[in-house]
Structure 1
């Protein structure tokens, strides 16, 4: 999606070098509709420049800092030398992410989606998450919950979540804990089984979370949780252990939660 407005002074923008002159470089802005900026020769690189073409070439993708914007004269002054390697790398990655999100919008709503509808949906994602990419990323992780603060229709939310979960690669973390379950009451093994079912959530675990409970060695059971972030993972790990302990105590047994696995000599 290209913005119809103007960039702000101090903003980093992505552009493609269109024309090179002795006095500077003309750049087509990739993120803005029909916007072109000028990098004066003094802003191409630090130090004295003999030949601008020693530093840039036509068709090159560059990251520039906006020095000044004069809308009345349709002039945008840019600097190439004021952008460091870290800023350049981050900006290019953000730009590539937004291109991906633009493709996901077409996948979700079809290539024939009208500009007005596209902008309406995009603005909802931008308002809620700051960018199209982050909107899809959060939808992939948290489902329709990530879109609750938007005015999108139920159908639009469902389509975004479906598209996001089919196309967005999200980072996941894994955490592990252990619970000891003992039951000398008449319910015996059946009581242990109920406690393990409780630990597993009885089918009531969010789609973005994977929870697995396995036997280690009497009376120890391992709980593994895979989730989009540590806060979520730790929360589900502790909740799983608490459910197991509550269930085994209700059966007349006892339980204890710990993060490290017991060894034979303990």
Structure 2
């Protein structure tokens, strides 16, 4: 999706070098419809420049900072030198992400979706999310729940969620903890098995969470959690250990959660 408006001074934009002259570089802005900016030779690189072509080439993708915008004269002044390496990488990644989101919109609603309908859906998503990419990523992780507050009909939301889950590669994190379970009663083994089932959640763990429990060495059991972020992963890990500890305590045993492995047996 390209914006129909104008960039703001101070904004970082992605563009393609369209023309190189003795006095500067013309850049077609990739994120804005029919917008072209000029980076004066003094804004192309630091220091004295003998030949602009030593620093940029036609067709090159650059990140530039918007210095000034004059809509009446259709002029956008840019600076390439004012963008550091970190800003360049971050902006390029953001731009690539939005290209992906644009592709997902086409997959979800068809290549021939009317511009008005596209804009309606995009505006609704951008009311709740910073970018379209963020909206699709959140939909892939949390499903319909992520879009509860988005002003779209159920059919559109279901379409976005289905497309997101089929196309978005969600970043996950893995955390591990341990729980010691002991029960002195004659049927203690059965109670420990029940506690381990409780630790696994018995189907109550969300679709985006992967949780497994394995035997390490008596009385220690390993709990592994894979989740979209550390906060959720840690929360699910602690909840799993708490379920196991509570179940074994109810049977007259003891449970103790710890993060580091304590036995030597694998």
Cross-structure match for 1:61? 61
Cross-structure match for 2:168? 168
Tell me the TM-score normalised to structure 2 length: 0.94
The one-character-per-residue Cα deviations of 1:150-209 (angstroms, maximum 9, x if unpaired) are 112222222222222222222211111111222233543322222111110010111111
C-alpha distance in 2 between matches for 1:262 and 1:83 = 50
Structure 2 residues not aligned, in runs of 5+: none
- Alpha-carbon distance, 1:145 to partner: 2.1
C-alpha distance in 1 between matches for 2:44 and 2:217 = 67
Cross-structure match for 2:180? 180
1:227 equivalent in alignment to 2:224: no
Tell me the TM-score normalised to structure 1 length: 0.94
C-alpha distance in 1 between matches for 2:218 and 2:61 = 61
Structure 1 residues not aligned, in runs of 5+: none
Q: Where does 1:81-96 land on structure 2 (aligned, <5 Å)?
A: 81-96=81-96
- Alpha-carbon distance, 1:54 to partner: 2.5
C-alpha distance in 2 between matches for 1:260 and 1:47 = 54
Q: In the alignment, is the contact (CA less than 8 A) between 1:187 and 1:251 conserved in 2?
A: no
Q: In the alignment, is the contact (CA less than 8 A) between 2:65 and 2:80 conserved in 1?
A: yes
Q: In the alignment, is the contact (CA less than 8 A) between 1:37 and 1:78 conserved in 2?
A: yes
Cross-structure match for 1:71? 71
For the residue of structure 2 that corresponds to 1:170, the secondary structure is coil
The one-character-per-residue Cα deviations of 1:71-120 (angstroms, maximum 9, x if unpaired) are 11111111112112221111111111111111111111111111111112
How many residue pairs match? The answer is 265
Cross-structure match for 1:249? 249
Q: Where does 1:1-266 land on structure 2 (aligned, <5 Å)?
A: 1-185=1-185, 187-263=187-263
The one-character-per-residue Cα deviations of 1:17-66 (angstroms, maximum 9, x if unpaired) are 11222222221110001111111222222233233222222211111111
Q: In the alignment, is the contact (CA less than 8 A) between 2:220 and 2:263 conserved in 1?
A: no
